Amino acid sequence: MNRKYFGTDGIRGRVGGDKINPEFVLKLGWAAGRVLGDGRGGKVLIGKDTRISGYLLESALEAGLVAAGIDIHLLGPMPTPGIAYLTRTLHARAGIVISASHNPHHDNGIKFFSSAGTKLPDEVEVAIEQELDRDMTIVESQRLGKAYRMADAAGRYIEFCKSSIPWVMSFRGLKVVVDCANGATYHIAPHVFEELGAEVVAIGVEPDGLNINAGVGSTHAESVRQAVLEHGADLGIALDGDGDRLIMVDADGVVLDGDDILYIIARSRQANGGLKGAVVGTQMTNLGLEHALHRIGIGLERTRVGDRYIMERLQEKKWVLGGEPSGHVICLDRTTTGDGIISALQVLAEMVNSGHTLSRLRDGLEKYPQRLENVALDGASANDVMASPALDDAVRVAEGELGESGRILLRPSGTEPLIRVMVEGRDAAQVETLTRRLAEVVGNLA
């Protein structure tokens, strides 16, 4: 379905731009309330990450929803997967997340969860967009919604995270660095691992509204890597600003991305009989993961890039495990969406059960050299760049040089004005050369 405002992960943009501003968000809250309430009212949860603009957008959303006759429960700073969980367990009509995930503080966004704790179906997003194009009205004063603050939201989610592993399990004896990216998990993730017995070194837990994802978190693994080596930790856990991505670091400082984590959890589920069907990856999933899973009898299916497409495939096939290299890992046998804390708990549980180090758990996975370069669009349309004959010719030549031993993927970002250039192959030097060449072509067109 063609959508005017919604992207692959809600509505996102620069604060003060054409969508992430008080006027638009007020109308968005009203439109969402009209569709989700269906004239019967009900309650909607609102949570946010730690961006300074969250205060502004929260107030605008609240006003719009209340004007449509919806009661609001304000959760405060809360990880995206925590909002999904609370939406489901509190039987809310929807959950709304104010976050731009791994983006810098000057961006923000709005995304929605259904009453089941999953992303809204396309037809519901289209219905909200249709309401956005209508004149705003306000229900009669006796039908206006009310707003409440939920004081125990963090504690409820902490207990849910801990329940995703056996209650008798303890992480006592493990020293763990937890990097919260100065984001929504800052007051949650360290407590989860501490309460399970681990010795925790917490970094990225001093949000000031402007430092979310700034040099810390899953997009800056060097910070958690350095802390692991300095503190002699057994492993490091790096989350992103809204807590749905996970990158890990082993005791030697080796960074494990979403493909590594997916491999470890898949092997664990296979061993305990919990793996149903195949694993779902994306076009970005490393060929090495596909081959490693195949060698142990696990299939891998690919979707378009984006966790919503992974989720759609998992639900369609009734499978339980999927993810992408960026660190979105979905364990549908534990929760309804990608969750960095819960994914990390599954890995630590396997370390305890097996007695193996994090490094040992990824034995058997040899990833192909892969290079990803993001090329900013300098006013050009992503569609025009992607349709360029010059780019088509450059890709054809590069594919001829790679032969059967690699892949090339070019795609517009669903969340930022970028085109992502990815090259994968057996020869690291060749991969580097081809990536730079193709990125230069894209840059000239952008």
Domain CATH code at residue 414:
3.30.310.50
- 57 lies in the same domain as 145: yes
CATH of residue 59's domain is: 3.40.120.10
Please tell me whether residue 423 adopts helix, strand or coil conformation: strand
If asked whether residues 147 and 176 sit together in one domain, one would say: no
Judged against a pLDDT cut of 90, whether residue 404 lies above it is answered with no
What CA–CA distance (Å, rounded) separates 434 from 429? 9
Q: Specify whether 137 is located in the same domain as 264.
A: no
Catalytic residue among 53, 101, 268, 343: 101
- The span from the CA of 265 to the CA of 338, in Å, is 14
Q: Which residues pair with 256 in a beta bridge?
A: 248
pLDDT over threshold 90, residue 7: no
Query: Is residue 433 situated within a structural domain?
Result: yes
Q: Reply yes or no on whether 115 is catalytic.
A: no
53 lies in the same domain as 127: yes
Residue 238 inside a domain? The answer is: yes
The answer, yes or no, to whether residue 405 has pLDDT greater than 80, is no
Classify residue 58: in a domain, yes or no: yes
Q: For residue 396, how many other CB atoms are within 10 A of its CB?
A: 10
Final residue before a domain boundary, out of 108, 126, 151? 151
Q: What residue type is assigned to position 313 of the chain? A: R
Q: HSE, CB side, 13 Å, CA atoms: give it for residue 439.
A: 17
More confident residue, 1 or 256: 256
Look at the chain and report how many structural domains it folds into. Answer: 3
pLDDT at 6 over 70: yes
Determine if the pTM surpasses 0.85. yes
Q: Give the model's confidence band at 135: pLDDT under 50 very low, under 70 low, under 90 confident, else very high.
A: very high
Q: Judge whether residue 239 has pLDDT over 90.
A: yes
Instruction: Look at residue 160 and tell me if it is in a domain.
Output: no
Choose the final residue of a domain: 327, 343, 361.
Answer: 361
Would residue 3 count as lying in a domain? Answer: no
Do 144 and 169 lie in one domain? The reply is no
Asked if 19 contacts 13 with a C-beta cutoff of 8 angstroms, the reply is: yes
On whether both 324 and 414 belong to a single domain, the answer is no
For residue 4, being part of any structural domain is answered with: no
How far apart CA 257 and CA 263 sit, in angstroms, is 10
**Pair (210, 357) in one structural domain:** yes
Where is 96: in which H helix or E strand? strand 94-98
Flag whether pLDDT at 226 surpasses 70.
yes
pLDDT tens for residues 67-90?
999 999 999 999 999 999 999 999
Which one-letter amino acid corresponds to residue 241? G
Give the model's pLDDT for residue 1: 58
Average pLDDT over all residues of the chain = 95
Does residue 386 sit in the same domain as residue 435? yes
The answer on 337 and 243 residing in a single domain is yes
Give me the DSSP letters along 235-293.
Answer: EEEEE-TTS-BEEEEETT--EE-HHHHHHHHHHHHHHHT---S-EEEETTS-HHHHHHH
Residues 287 and 424 grouped into a single domain = no
Give per-residue pLDDT as tens, 293-348: 999 999 999 999 888 899 999 999 999 999 999 999 999 999 999 999 999 999 99
Verify that 219 and 82 share a domain, yes or no: no
Domain with 383 in it: 370-445
pLDDT digits (tens, 9 = 90+) for 240-261: 999 999 999 999 999 999 999 9
Given 361, 396, 425, which residue is the final one in a domain?
361
Does the residue 344 lie in any domain? Answer: yes
Any domain includes 398? yes
Q: Please report where in the chains the tokens 């664990």 appear, as a residue.
A: 268
| One domain, residues 324 and 403 | no
